[in-house]
Chain A
Amino acid sequence: MTGLRPDAGEWSHLMRERALTFERRQNMGEGGGWFSRLRAGLAKTRAGLASRVEGLLSGRGGRIDESVYEGLEEALVLADAGVTATMSIMERLRERAKREAPKGAEDLKRMLKEEIAALLRPVARPLALDPPGLAAAMVVGVNGSGKTTSVGKLAWRLQREGRQVIIGAADTFRAAAIEQLQVWGRRAGAAVIAHEPGADPAAVAFDAAQAAVARGADVLLVDTAGRLHTRTNLMEELRKVHRVMTSRLGQPLREVLLVLDATTGQNGLVQARQFAEAVPLTGIVLTKLDGTAKGGIVIAIASELGLPVKLVGVGEGAEDLQDFAPEAFAEALFS
């Protein structure tokens, strides 16, 4: 296994990154939990939706008229929830308002958040990588969504929990993708199984599975190359990687995670559908929630496909990976 300690050069880079992260945190008024960090990040945007919705709600003395509903609807669309999901949520909200007579606009907003949280609660499920046995996972997704980084963060987290992690570098296509993952492997203290650039990704996955079994590792994480879901041949390749891993391990993968960038618009739904058709997705990792994007597309995905959301990425540092929390998520949509 690669040592826990990075080499000298690596180390100074890491230190600087820590310092940067630290500074950033201070600026953001870090107060524990990703929600407060999200808020802090959001607070910086003047053009943010927050003030607009707030304005709409308070400007009319809290009374509920059609414009309040429109404001909430706009907020949902602006969060990328999509027209269809937005319409059906608003429909439910109107019905509920008829039954429960909200006291004012604020109360209505609270109900909306509850509706969204209720919609998301069934899909907020924890990672299924717990002991006993070898827990294997792979990440899939379009280019640049954050797969490699998420694998790195996850390896880091699991190693810190005392699990022995092996990483498979099955992105053999993108230039320097292997090196990128190796840096993460060193950070996490996890061994990285890699072949040459351009090698067959399924062969890498096979070897990684082999190594995980042979070394009695606790967790196997396999990174894959980014691909657009419209590329049939690349989706076929993904199937093969999954098939080879599964058959080598003699059991299904515990997690097949779609890594989705929170800035993604309506195409995210198509991505989820198409990747789910190629490999048996078990959940989503929603990355880059540290920006101003709300990641509302997971609402659309949850309501149409019921695909669980497992983790959220909130930065580029090793510790910036959190479990998905529906209430905080719903709250952040309107903050």
Chain B
Amino acid sequence: MPETDSPAGRGGAALFGNLAERLQAALGKLKGRGKLSERDVEEALREVRLALLEADVNFRVVKDFLAQVKERAVGQEVMQSLTPGQQVIKIVHEELTALMGGSHARLALSGKAPHVVMLVGLQGSGKTTSAAKLANLLRKQGHRPLLVAADVYRPAAIRQLEVLGQQLEVPVFSLGERHDPVDIARAALSHARDRGHDVVVVDTAGRLHVDEELMAELERMAEALNPRETLLVLDAMTGQEAVNVAQRFNERFELSGFILTKLDGDARGGAALSVRAVVGQPVKFAGVGEKLDQLEPFHPERMASRILGMGDVLTLIEKAQMAMDAEEAQRMAAKLKSAEFTLEDFLVQLRQVRNMGPLDQLLGMIPGLAGASQLKGLDVDEKQLKRIEAIIQSMTPEERAHPAIINGSRRRRIARGSGTSVQDVNRLLKQFEQTRGLLKQLGAGKGSRRARSIFARLFQG
């Protein structure tokens, strides 16, 4: 392995850095060459197989999945604008997305309240934090959640949930560490009924799927709680074991879904695909940071791109599909030359970025950027992005077109309107100015360099 500086967002993918080239070498770069032959498909899938394994998709899941894809792909017409290799990857991507479960699955909270949501999983997967985040989300949706601290084994786990509950102002039920978790479950449920909580989120102790004693204990808890949702909390960095874990938990608890945690890192997250494939239940939420509002609905499409990790190729495919891209790029280039790149353009770019998936992943997708050392250590913060978007949206069209007119009182108004501070507005304007300056310098440069500086500027400080 010669390459050691694989950039953020493409963890462990150095091997596949030049996948586009390898596909071309194997399949040629001639576009739209009639139907996909068996050989085309096999050659392309060999590369896909490596990519999936590097992303931690389970070995057997990869095998089954690719067999399925092959069946679908052989004989398909190659799009005019794509090479056979790209066509195969397009199919892989579609199948992956479908397998990951179409659109976002919601919590099933119907029937008689209180509804119990029980979080289970291995040690250290992120159950306690996820429980608090979920309660936070539910409360924002108008529910009256109760958190239940039932991890009596890990030292101070109960205390941890209590602190989080305090921060959120969500009540936490606990009986301390010296009670049987089954008793805690029962007491919590009647407490919830008494106090009129409609949702009960239960944090359980981490346990190994092969720990018979603790699995049996969890079964007794489930009997007492009769949970509407049993969610397995899974670390996005989990390797090949994910299937065994998910299978074991599912056998005993009939999982209704998963929460995938620590997705803000650079793990490709193939475990998500594995567990979906073996259990058949969807990933319902993704943890994307340590803060308590950093739990998001899960997006299968983004995850499919991330797992596949073939940024270069996927981008090419997208380009081929969206004719608009070329025009847009030209328009932007023209604007740059005349230095009239406005906040409006800035926002358009931001929106495009947001539509395309996790940022760190996106950065890896930009051709020529994958190996850029400048990207190393770039701290991409989705929340910051949202804030910038809010600020620009609070500006009038005139302000967006001519940022120079944004004086002190306008700044205050914008800050108020976007729920940010004047410092935030100032910082954004400064970043914008710097970006524009840079863009001017790079106006003649290649697209990738331009993009790089935009992103680099955006996420500094």
Contacts and interface: CB of A to CB of B under 8 A. Distances in A.
A316 B155 CA distance: 10
Contacts of A89: none
Interface in B76-110: none
A82 interface: yes
B154 interface: yes
Nearest to B461: A233
Contact of A228 (B55, B163, B242, B265): B265
A231 interface: yes
Contact of A47 (B125, B212, B247, B377): B247
Chain B interface category by residue count? 35 or more
Contacts of B379: 230-233
A153 to B, nearest CB: 12
Given A77-B59, A77-B240, A144 B126 contact: yes
Interface stretch (A108-116, A177-185, A213-221): A177-185
Contact of A263 (B50, B53, B238): B238
Contacts of B56: 80, 265-267
A17 B177 CA distance: 11
A41 B207 CA distance: 13
Given A45-B244, A267-B268, A288 B123 contact: yes
A293 B122 CA distance: 11
Nearest to A85: B1
Contacts of A17: 153
Interface string A41-53: 1101101000000
Given A9-B178, A176-B163, A232-B377, A142 B156 contact: no
A270 B213 contact: no
Contact of B59 (A74, A175, A197): A74
Contact of B264 (A12, A228, A290): A228
B235 A144 contact: yes
A143 B270 CA distance: 19
A79 interface: yes
Contacts of A230: 8, 264-266, 360, 379
Interface in B236-272: 237-242, 244-245, 247-248, 262, 264-268, 270-271
Given A13-B177, A230-B8, A179 B155 contact: yes
Which residue of B59, B124, B164 has the most chain A CB atoms within 10 A of its CB atom? B124
Interface in A249-276: 261, 263-271, 273
B197 interface: no
A163 interface: no
A292 interface: yes
Interface stretch (A19-27, A129-137, A202-210): A19-27
A197 B167 CA distance: 13
B212 A44 contact: yes
Nearest to A269: B12
Contacts of B377: 232, 235
Interface string A65-103: 000000000100111101110000000000000000000
A32 to B, nearest CB: 20
B27 to A, nearest CB: 21
B15 interface: yes
Contacts of B50: 83
Interface string B197-210: 00000000000111
Given A84-B1, A228-B264, A270-B6, A288 B237 contact: no
B250 to A, nearest CB: 12
B315 interface: no
B11 A267 contact: yes
Contacts, number: 178
Contact of A267 (B58, B211, B267): B267
Contacts of A293: 239, 241
Contact of A180 (B154, B210, B360): B154
A291 interface: yes
B244 A292 contact: yes
B239 A264 contact: yes
A145 interface: yes
Contact of B156 (A179, A231, A297): A179
Interface in B11-52: 11-12, 15, 50
Interface string A153-190: 00000000000000000000111110110111000000
Contacts of B212: 27, 44
A13 B265 contact: no
Interface in B157-188: 157, 159-164, 167, 177-178
A222 B360 CA distance: 31
A176 B6 contact: no
A183 B155 contact: yes
Given A175-B163, A288-B122, A273 B1 contact: no
A263 B211 contact: no
A229 B213 CA distance: 35
A142 B237 contact: yes
Interface in B360-385: 360, 377-379
Contacts of A265: 56, 237-240, 267, 270-271
Which residue of B54, B59, B239 has the most chain A CB atoms within 10 A of its CB atom? B239
B409 interface: no
B178 A12 contact: yes
A197 to B, nearest CB: 8
Nearest to B52: A83
Nearest to A83: B53
B64 to A, nearest CB: 14
A264 B1 CA distance: 20
B265 A267 contact: yes
Given A263-B241, A292-B209, A180 B122 contact: no
Contact of A174 (B4, B53, B160, B239): B160
B183 to A, nearest CB: 14
B12 A80 contact: no
A77 B70 CA distance: 22
Interface string B306-320: 000000000000000
A302 to B, nearest CB: 13
Contacts of B123: 144, 146, 288, 316
B265 A44 contact: no
Contacts of B223: none
A107 interface: no
A83 B159 contact: no
Which residue of A143, A174, A180, A235 has the most chain B CB atoms within 10 A of its CB atom? A143
A80 B211 contact: no
Which residue of A27, A45, A80, A83 has the most chain B CB atoms within 10 A of its CB atom? A83
6 contacts: A47-B244, A83-B15, A144-B126, A176-B159, A230-B360, A304-B1
Given A143-B126, A173-B290, A231-B379, 15 more contacts: A24-B213, A78-B58, A80-B56, A80-B240, A82-B54, A180-B159, A197-B163, A228-B266, A229-B265, A233-B379, A265-B56, A265-B270, A269-B12, A271-B237, A291-B122
Interface of B: 1, 4, 6, 8, 11-12, 15, 50, 53-56, 58-59, 122-126, 153-157, 159-164, 167, 177-178, 208-213, 235, 237-242, 244-245, 247-248, 262, 264-268, 270-271, 290, 360, 377-379
Question: Which 3 interchain pairs have the tightest Cβ spacing?
Answer: A265-B239, A144-B124, A265-B56
